Amino acid sequence: MADRDPLDPAALVSMCDAALSRAAGLGATNAEVRIERIHSQMIALRDGTLETAADDTEVGVGLRVIHNGSIGFAATVAASPDAAAGLAELAVDAARTAASAGGQPIELADEPAHGYVEWTSPYRTDPAEVSLSDKVALLGSWSRRLLDTPGVDHTNASVLSVTEDKHFADLAGTVASQRRVRIHPQIEALALGPDGHGFETMRTVAPPVGRGWEYLEGDGWDWEAELASLPELLAEKMGAPSVEPGSYDLVIDPTNLWLTIHESIGHATELDRAMGFEAAYAGTSFATFDKLGHLQYGSPIMQVTGDRTTEHGLATVAIDDEGTQAQSFDLIRDGVLTGYQLDRTIAGAMALGRSNGCAFADSPLHIPIQRMANVSLQPAPGEGPTTEDLIGGVAHGLFIVGDKSWSIDMQRYNFQFTGQRFFRIEGGKLAGQVRDVAYQATTTDFWGAMEAVGGRSTYLLAGAFNCGKGQPGQVAPVSHGCPSALVRGVSVLNARAEAGR
């Protein structure tokens, strides 16, 4: 049994049965077991030479129980029926210990059994099946192409890929086998200033996606066009003037706006954070529960959904880590806060009815917690304006492309964001790049000043692999779709001057 694949169907059945039957025998009213194998790989090249090639495979079994109104959790890397049954003893003991500390009994929100569910995210080629030599060759060719261009002094190229196999079973009768594949390629060009003083960078803005290796071959992104554009963009940036601080109308590309959504909406509408139950990684939330249904989060054109069913979304699943079916749900409708992201624990505690499927653990050895869905700003109805249309409506402003650094306060309210590429807008037309831009606002002022959003043609699903939350910390992949947007009268700082340089 020691050499048996823990994800072999017979092994899965025997381990799940052992864990769940023992938990039930010990008096658990709810029990969920997860058996997972997570393979991740990071490859990085510096100036076309391999610098990092790191592979990691994690295999384990995790069991969560509810016993006498308290939660207990235990996990092991030993994949056998005996080890799985032993987890029930440990998890129930943990629940008894938690009960001794007092507090309100835990009541999970009701969720029907979903029977057997088998689901795989859409991909063609599992990155784990592509040879290291082929991966290095592709990144190397991209790097050499840039290095052969005058004005490019250095390059950094990388690709991070994850293949996640997860088998879930609970006492209610849901059994789910799911595979998620995701990938994030990046390449950055760097130019040194005259006599080696100063530098500028220009990075690709291709987002991480729930796709396979085919993404690097052009399925879902035009790498040829972006690689061709980088040297010219970088050269223009090197000679660009530093921005004059002041109030600007901003047209923001989805490659930048996704991060503003993530920080000021995604985390702020996690109900555990809004209730003060979660404060790790930048605090709680200004969008407290008493404001539900009447907080004017933004302008009336603002429609934001949470969705765990989005095609190619990084947070997309069929069944979450508490056995809840994936759903799409409103968070902000006509600019008003209308919902939160929920798991069964917080939905039950707040008597909100069914969870909307936002439980996730980043490892079989970690307990599931409430995590972010794919939180997305919806485009304008119908054909809607193009990005060029939005730019055409601006007399004096900036067009912002690509994400970079950010900062947000402990209530998800005051924030500052930078980006990769900044273009002046004068008289409705682009008028060259500027440097050192940072835009600053409060959450409600920023979204309240959003005058227009682009149509479906401007919409892009972007996101990140590494959303952090919890103590001990966990990371989760999440996508954020959005169109281009026009936001009026936003305060812009000169980041270089603010730093005293």
Domain harbouring 150, CATH code? 3.30.2290.10
Question: Is residue 259 located within the same domain as residue 290?
Answer: yes
Residue 134 domain-assigned (yes or no): yes
Question: Is residue 226 located within the same domain as residue 324?
Answer: no
Residue 3 domain-assigned (yes or no): no
Tokens matching residue 235: 């050269």
Question: Is residue 188 located within the same domain as residue 39?
Answer: yes
Question: Is residue 391 located within the same domain as residue 410?
Answer: yes
How many CA within 13 A on the CB side of residue 476? 30
Side chain identity at residue 21, one-letter code:
S
Which residues, 6 or more positions from 365, have their beta carbon under 8 angstroms from its beta carbon?
A: 58, 60, 62, 75, 76, 77
Question: Is residue 191 located within the same domain as residue 61?
Answer: yes
Question: Is residue 196 located within the same domain as residue 129?
Answer: yes
Question: Is residue 139 located within the same domain as residue 17?
Answer: yes
Question: Is residue 205 located within the same domain as residue 310?
Answer: no
- Give the separation between CA 372 and CA 354, rounded to whole angstroms: 16
- Give the separation between CA 283 and CA 295, rounded to whole angstroms: 20
Tokens matching residue 229: 């554009």
Which of 215, 238, 261 finishes a domain? 238
Q: Would residue 151 be called left, alpha or beta, if left means φ above 0 and alpha means ψ between -120 and 50 degrees?
A: left
Residue 330 domain-assigned (yes or no): yes
Contact 412, 276 (CB under 8 A): no
Tokens matching residue 141: 């060719």
The reported pLDDT for the residue numbered 501 is: 65
Peptide bond preceding 122: is omega within 30 degrees of 0, i.e. cis?
no
Question: Is residue 33 located within the same domain as residue 56?
Answer: yes
Question: Is residue 317 located within the same domain as residue 186?
Answer: no
Percentages of the chain per state (helix, strand, coil), in multiples of 5: 25, 35, 40
pLDDT digits (tens, 9 = 90+) for 438-472: 999 999 999 999 999 999 999 999 999 999 999 88
Count of the separate structural domains present in the chain: 2
- Give the separation between CA 274 and CA 279, rounded to whole angstroms: 9
Question: Is residue 80 located within the same domain as residue 22?
Answer: yes
Side chain identity at residue 64, one-letter code:
R
Residue 1 domain-assigned (yes or no): no
The reported pLDDT for the residue numbered 2 is: 45
Q: Residue 33: give the domain boundaries.
A: 9-238
pLDDT digits (tens, 9 = 90+) for 335-350: 999 999 999 999 999 9
- Give the separation between CA 36 and CA 47, rounded to whole angstroms: 36
- The helix/strand count (H/E) of the chain reads as 10, 24
Which residues, 6 or more positions from 210, have their beta carbon under 8 angstroms from its beta carbon?
A: 121, 122, 123, 180, 181, 182, 311, 312, 313, 314, 316, 479
Residue 177 domain-assigned (yes or no): yes
- Give the separation between CA 356 and CA 411, rounded to whole angstroms: 23
- The distance from CA 78 to its chain's CA centroid, rounded to whole angstroms, is 30
Which of 218, 238, 258 finishes a domain? 238
The per-residue b/e assignment along 367-402, b for 16 or more CB within 10 angstroms, e otherwise, is bbbbbbbbbbbbbbeeebbebebbbebbeebbbbbb
Tokens matching residue 358: 């936002």
- Give the separation between CA 64 and CA 435, rounded to whole angstroms: 50
Using 70 as the pLDDT threshold, list the residues of the chain that sit under it: 1-4, 501
Side chain identity at residue 407, one-letter code:
S
Residue 148 domain-assigned (yes or no): yes
For 84, 165, 378, 433, the CA distances from 251, given in Å and listed in that order, are 54, 40, 16, 14
- Give the separation between CA 433 and CA 423, rounded to whole angstroms: 4
- Kindly state the helix (H) or strand (E) to which residue 37 belongs, with its residue range: strand 30-46
Contact 171, 28 (CB under 8 A): yes
Q: What sign does the dihedral 24-27-32-33 (CA atoms) show?
A: negative
Which of 238, 271, 301 finishes a domain? 238
Residue 4 domain-assigned (yes or no): no
- Give the separation between CA 227 and CA 152, rounded to whole angstroms: 12
- Give the separation between CA 183 and CA 244, rounded to whole angstroms: 38
Question: Is residue 224 located within the same domain as residue 123?
Answer: yes
Q: What percent of the chain has pLDDT over 70?
A: 99
